Chains A and B, each alone.
Chain A
Amino acid sequence: MAVNQTLPRVNPPPENKLHPQRKTPFLTRLWRDSPLLVMVAPAVIILLLFTYIPLLGSVIAFMDYVPFLGFTGSEWVGWANFSSLFSDTAFWNALWNTAQITFLQIVLFFPVPIVLAVLLNTVAMPLAKRFVQSVIYLPHFLSWVIIVALFQQILGGNGVLNRFLITHALTPFEIMSNPDAFKLLLTTQAIWKDAGWGTIIFLAAIAAINPGLYEAATIDGAGAWQRFWHVTLPGMRPIIVLMLILRLGDALTVGFEQILLQRDAVGPGAAEVLDTFTYFNGVVDGSWGTATAAGLLKGVVSLLLVLAANKLAHRLGEEGVYRR
């Protein structure tokens, strides 16, 4: 396809501008990049303070850590926390629930903002477009407490829907407290809350596509569907892949607050995930060591997921998180 071949030229690889020439001396580069470095410094400091330094605390995973005895006073137990973790059925249950929710969210949630963005892009009237955008962005700014309460008021055992059914002598639906439907419910809530917000980056990706391509495609006789398939989608592809990889990085973080708020309604059997397991074991029950071991394990699995996805992206000829 002619359109396809023109793509790389229209979206020139930015390496020549961003990547320093190998020969330029370090100090020169430092001076040249100093404004950029200053700009990035606060983020780096935050990352160091709140991410890298706390990482050192992971040694707790190898200790029978008691907060008031501290790092020096707590007993070193080696891998004991991990072995007790692996022999705990509650941990495997949490892991399995996490995996199921992760899978559901990636399959059901991830494509929604892409589709929404594409649909929004087809809305010609700027006013209508902006209105729809505002409406779908709005739920992102509500906290989970409010969203869960809203769902409870509408779909709960005593909510609007079920009160209507009960007063009309119909069988009520068990939605909010049905363990079998819980994971779908979570995904639905997540889509309602954040799918709209997620469109922003994809809309930006669409906006970055050279309009000339569409014109060329139209001249070549491409219809709307062909323009989407051969221009829009390839243009969005690097962003989609990047977002997917980044998403995989925290895929195992499946919504702590959202789940914690609804865990009692369906019980830990259906609702315990790695994050809530860590919270209840560590903070509430005081088994900081085992909880940290679970957290560390989650971090390692997430890292592996990102690396694997990135590798796959490179295999498929995409840029991934970084360029090889």
Chain B
Amino acid sequence: MASRIPREGLTRRSLLRNAGLAAALVPIGGALAACGSGSSGGSTGGGPAGGGQTAPMPAYVPPNKPKPLYEGNAQGVMDVYESFPMDGPKTVTGPIGDGGDFNIMIMTYGQPAPPLNENVYWQLLNKELNLNVKPLQVPFADFQTKFPALVAGDDLPEFVSVPIFQNISRLPQLAEAQFTDLSEFLSGDAVKKYPNLAGIQEAGWLNGYLNGRIYGVPRSDPVFTTQIYTKTDVIEAAGANPQPKNLQEFRDLAKAVTDPKAGVYAFGGNIAGFLMMMFGVPNKWTRKSDGTFVSAYEHEAFVPAIAELAALYKSGVFHPDTATLIGNKTQRDSLFRSGKLAMVHDGNRAFGIVADDAKLVFDIMMPFGKDGGDAVHWTGNGAYAITMIKKTTDKKRIDMFLKVLDYVAAPFGSRESFVINYGVEGEDYTVKDGVAVLTTRGQREQDLGLAYIAGGPQVLCNPQGAPGVDKLNYGWQQKVVSTLLDNPAAHLYSQTFNTKGAALEQQMQDAIVAVFLGREPASSLTSAVQKWKTGGGDLMAREYAEAR
């Protein structure tokens, strides 16, 4: 259902479907000794930040995992499973909650979940956790205004889950002022008390470090960021090649599928990221050999990539409502589903959504360089969200909070993970040929969002999707994994990014969109980048070099 689909990626279920990838994801940002040497939280375009990691990294104990159909790897390719084991082992023992209220803020996509008395999935979770879960659901579209309002009004509930990609300004200061430092409960071997949290890898934990201390428990994210999904029937009808090998073939594909009279267009949103990766633009920053940082906006390929985007727009392959569709993922997705858009550029995390629908036959475009050869593929922050608890000294309360997260973070294959992902048999899922398949009711009830709040690495397991969808993604990941490019500033602390980063990034995005839609010439980007640099970009570069 389009309405549930999150933007640039969130996923509803495959996000939720975590499991033990035996080896660690690539530590984003590198240089992180497990025992807290120099660098720590914070990233540009993404992560929270903290200066000087003073709490040791939580120990990593790889969870047991069932044998996958296709094995993932240490670089981030995900394991593929045909079905979700229904008789998995218990990973959580002993009581969790105290029967009291569990007030938690969660960002959600689409409609609010059905109310408790009609929601058997929610009732089941309440029973499993021995709690009365009361989610404060903040819709994705409202998050940017609702969250600051909750903070300003001092109305945050006891537990708060914040998506990393929302770039909350001054998060480290907010954490220090209002949330509990969890370091003593999670750092080093202490985390072993919560075995499923010990199954979360460093790449995820790095996002939980704020001011060098552990404030948040992460929900891990795949290492891949965005890609182009192609709608097979539309492309076949146009007789086009869904897998172009260079820019010219890409242009040809876009032109071939566009049919204004039928209202069919190649794209409806911003594909700047895809073109920038195709043109070889670095992942936000480059660290030069002398240790200085240079922004990707200053890279020689940045302006040409956006100029190409503008040229594509001018050639008429974009939907006439692109200007408004850029900010409206829900509508873009429904146009894709109805065959009015031949392609969508979306997050890897969005895969679970397209893979949900057995009737939706799609392919994923293999990245390619402008003149053939390889593109680069930017990696993400390593986590989707972190979950925190308001300041308290009540150790029992903190322990209960961590036990709940331990339950939610149970790895793929465990009993708890099955409960979280499938709910009640006969209502939320049905069993066909030994494979559990979610019902529409099950999908709706999971809009509760509780499964977003913690977790280790995920796996590919979409038995309800079109046949072969997971294998398709697996093949894509295998190809792309060798071209992964990290952001060298990820998890480094910059005070300027912390306070002004989101606003500066917005300025650049506005400048890019202005060129994209032909409101400004490509040459205007040069002055936009200059403004970005003097407005704080230069300071960020200096701060990252120092933080390193």
Q: List residues of A whose CB falls within 8 A of some B CB.
A: 66-69, 89-90, 152, 156-158, 162-163, 166-167, 169, 172, 176-177, 179, 264-269, 280-281, 283-288
Which A-chain residue is minimally distant from B262 (CB atoms)?
A167
Q: Is the CB of A68 within 8 A of B174?
A: yes
Q: Is the CB of A156 within 8 A of B145?
A: no
Q: Which residues in window 499-522 of B have CB below 8 A to A?
A: 499-500, 502-503, 506-507, 510, 513-514, 517, 519-520
Nearest first, the 10 closest Cβ-Cβ pairs linking A and B are A157-B320, A67-B152, A286-B169, A285-B503, A177-B323, A265-B323, A157-B321, A158-B320, A68-B177, A264-B327
How many Å lie between the Cα of A141 and that of B499 in the bound state? 40
Q: Is the CB of B320 within 8 A of A162?
A: yes
Q: Is the CB of A177 within 8 A of B324?
A: yes
Which B-chain residue is minimally distant from A148 (CB atoms)?
B324
Question: Is B482's beta carbon under 8 Å from chain A?
Answer: no
Other than the known A156-B320, A158-B321, A177-B517, what 11 A-B pairs have Cβ atoms closer than 8 Å?
A67-B148, A69-B173, A157-B320, A157-B323, A176-B323, A177-B323, A179-B519, A265-B323, A265-B324, A284-B145, A284-B506
Q: Find chain A residues with CB under 8 A from B322 CB.
A: 157
Most A CB contacts (10 A, CB to CB) among B320, B507, B520 go to: B320
11 contacts between A and B (CB under 8 A): A67-B152, A163-B263, A172-B320, A264-B326, A264-B327, A266-B323, A267-B514, A269-B510, A283-B149, A284-B144, A285-B503
Which A-chain residue is minimally distant from B507 (CB atoms)?
A90
Question: Is B291's beta carbon under 8 Å from chain A?
Answer: no
How many Å lie between the Cα of A158 and that of B323 in the bound state? 11
How many Å lie between the Cα of A90 and that of B327 in the bound state? 21
Question: Is B213's beta carbon under 8 Å from chain A?
Answer: no
Question: Is B319's beta carbon under 8 Å from chain A?
Answer: yes
How many Å lie between the Cα of A163 and that of B264 in the bound state? 12
1/0 per residue B9-28: CB within 8 Å of A?
Answer: 00000000000000000000
Q: Which residues in window 347-374 of B have CB below 8 A to A?
A: none
1/0 per residue B109-150: CB within 8 Å of A?
Answer: 000000000000000000000000000000000001100110
Question: Is B241's beta carbon under 8 Å from chain A?
Answer: no
Which A-chain residue is minimally distant from B324 (CB atoms)?
A265
Q: Find chain A residues with CB under 8 A from B148 CB.
A: 67, 283-284, 286
Name the one of A68, A167, A281, A288 contacting B173, with C-beta atoms under 8 angstroms: A68
Q: Is the CB of B324 within 8 A of A66?
A: no
Q: How far, in Å, is B384 (CB) from chain A's closest CB?
A: 21
Q: How far, in Å, is A80 (CB) from chain B's closest CB?
A: 13
Question: Is B396's beta carbon under 8 Å from chain A?
Answer: no
Q: How far, in Å, is B439 (CB) from chain A's closest CB?
A: 33
Which bracket fits the contact residues of B? Answer: 35 or more
Question: Is B170's beta carbon under 8 Å from chain A?
Answer: yes
Question: Is B238's beta carbon under 8 Å from chain A?
Answer: no
How many Å lie between the Cα of A163 and that of B144 in the bound state? 34
Q: Is the CB of A67 within 8 A of B517?
A: no
Q: Find chain B residues with CB under 8 A from A179 CB.
A: 519
> A152-B324, A267-B514, A285-B503 known; A66 and B173 CB under 8 Å?
yes
Q: Is the CB of A285 within 8 A of B502?
A: yes
How many Å lie between the Cα of A283 and that of B168 in the bound state? 11
Q: Find chain B residues with CB under 8 A from A284 CB.
A: 144-145, 148, 502, 506
How many Å lie between the Cα of A266 and that of B174 in the bound state? 35
Q: How far, in Å, is B169 (CB) from chain A's closest CB?
A: 4
Q: Find chain B residues with CB under 8 A from A280 CB.
A: 503, 506
1/0 per residue B299-338: CB within 8 Å of A?
Answer: 0000000000000000000011111101100000000000
How many Å lie between the Cα of A87 and that of B324 in the bound state? 30
How many Å lie between the Cα of A163 and that of B326 in the bound state? 20
Question: Is B261's beta carbon under 8 Å from chain A?
Answer: yes
Which B-chain residue is minimally distant from A89 (CB atoms)?
B531
Q: Find chain B residues with CB under 8 A from A157 CB.
A: 319-323
Name the one of A152, A268, A281, A286 contacting B170, with C-beta atoms under 8 angstroms: A286
How many Å lie between the Cα of A89 and that of B326 in the bound state? 25
1/0 per residue B491-505: CB within 8 Å of A?
Answer: 000000001101100
How many Å lie between the Cα of A283 and that of B150 in the bound state? 11
Q: Is the CB of A167 within 8 A of B506?
A: no
How many Å lie between the Cα of A270 and that of B323 in the bound state? 13
How many Å lie between the Cα of A268 and that of B319 in the bound state? 21
Q: Is the CB of A68 within 8 A of B151?
A: yes
> A68-B151, A269-B514, A283-B145 known; A264 and B263 CB under 8 Å?
no
1/0 per residue B169-185: CB within 8 Å of A?
Answer: 11001100110000000
Q: Find chain A residues with CB under 8 A from B151 CB.
A: 67-68
How many Å lie between the Cα of A152 and that of B320 in the bound state? 11
Q: Find chain A residues with CB under 8 A from B520 CB.
A: 269
Q: Find chain A residues with CB under 8 A from B323 CB.
A: 157, 176-177, 264-266
